[in-house]
């Protein structure tokens, strides 16, 4: 069984640029959630994807967007990067059957630095 993987591991961008982060969900999982973890903070929910559609969103502006693909992998896109976007971005996958969710499994994260 393959765990959640994320790419790239590290990324450096400048203000105003755009970035795409990728996540491969664990085998058998159909739901992907993205979290932002700023330094010294706990993870903060960005949004969740289920069956290729956004299924809940946290308090993040529209320049944070995402996709989920038929194989349940996912992308997080951030436009017009700001310095405060510097953080560790975590992806978590889980399996959902109807209204029932199972445990979320986290990936290792992508460290984004915005200069």
Partner 1 sequence: AQRVTQPEKLLSVFKGAPVELKCNYSYSGSPELFWYVQYSRQRLQLLLRHISRESIKGFTADLNKGETSFHLKKPFAQEEDSAMYYCALKDSGGSNYKLTFGKGTLLTVNP
DSSP state letters, 59-84 = S--TTEEEEE-TTS-EEEEE-S--GG
- Min dist. Cβ of residue 32 to partner 1 (A): 10
> How many residues would you count in the chain?
115
If the CB atoms of residues 40 and 70 are measured against partner 1, the closer one turns out to be 40
**DSSP-based helix, strand, coil % in the chain, nearest 5:** 5, 55, 45
Task: Give the distance, in angstroms, between the CA of residue 46 and the centroid of all CA atoms in the same chain.
Answer: 7
- Min dist. Cβ of residue 59 to partner 1 (A): 9
If the CB atoms of residues 7 and 101 are measured against partner 1, the closer one turns out to be 101
Give the span between the Cα atoms of 3 and 16, in whole angstroms: 33
Q: What is the DSSP letter of 9?
A: S
Summarize as ranges the residues that interact with partner 1 (CB under 8 A).
4, 31, 33, 35, 40-45, 48, 50, 55-56, 58, 90, 94, 96, 99, 101, 103-109
- Min dist. Cβ of residue 42 to partner 1 (A): 3
- Min dist. Cβ of residue 20 to partner 1 (A): 21
If the CB atoms of residues 43 and 85 are measured against partner 1, the closer one turns out to be 43
If the CB atoms of residues 45 and 69 are measured against partner 1, the closer one turns out to be 45
């Amino acid at each position: 069984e393959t765990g959640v993987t994320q790419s790239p591991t590290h990324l450096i961008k400048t203000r105003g640029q755009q970035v795409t982060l990728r996540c491969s969900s664990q085998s058998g999982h159909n739901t992907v959630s993205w979290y932002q973890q700023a330094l010294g903070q706990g993870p903060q929910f960005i949004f969740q994807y289920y069956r290729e559609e956004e299924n809940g969103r946290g308090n993040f502006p529209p320049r944070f967007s995402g996709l989920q693909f038929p194989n349940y992998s996912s992308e997080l896109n951030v436009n017009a990067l700001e310095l405060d976007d510097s953080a560790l971005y975590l992806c978590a996958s889980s399996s959902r059957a109807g209204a029932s969710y199972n445990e979320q499994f986290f990936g290792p994260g992508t460290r984004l630095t915005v200069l």
